[in-house]
Amino acid sequence: MKVASKVKVKNALGLHTRPAAFIVKLLQPRKSMVTFTYKSETINARSIMSILMLAAKKNAQILITVDGEDAEATMAYLISAFEQEFGEK
């Protein structure tokens, strides 16, 4: 199954090292393939370096695409993480 959703980066510093590490750790037990698309660049969300290279700042709109057997649950976790500012609130 494939699902896609747009999220807004709410962190004051954008997607910096701490949120990137949070995302990679969150995806470790998941089976689905996850990509982030920002400004016409698509990256593998399991790579900290790739997330950092997106250079997504505060209020950036990112398209998350999840493809796999646990796609819906994985998407729900990711949307929640973005909403919670990766625990930085």
Report the C-alpha gap between 61 and 73 in whole angstroms.
Answer: 21
16 as an active site residue: the answer is: yes
Catalytic residue among 3, 10, 14, 16: 16
Give the residue, 64 or 87, on which the prediction is more confident: 64
To the question of pTM greater than 0.85 for the whole model, the response is yes
- Per-residue confidence band for 89, with pLDDT thresholds at 50, 70 and 90: confident
List 5's β-bridge partners, or say none.
Answer: 64
pLDDT tens-digit readout, 5-59: 999 999 999 999 999 999 999 999 999 999 999 999 999 999 999 999 999 999 9
User: Residue 24's domain is classified under what CATH number?
Assistant: 3.30.1340.10
**Full residue range of the structural domain in which residue 41 is found:** 2-87
Distance, in Å, from the CA atom of 23 to the CA atom of 47, rounded to the nearest integer, reads 9
How many other C-beta atoms are found inside a 10 Å radius of the C-beta of residue 28?
A: 7
Q: Considering its fold, how many domains does the chain have in total?
A: 1
Q: What is the pLDDT of residues 71-85, one digit of tens each?
A: 999 999 999 999 999
22 three-class SS: helix
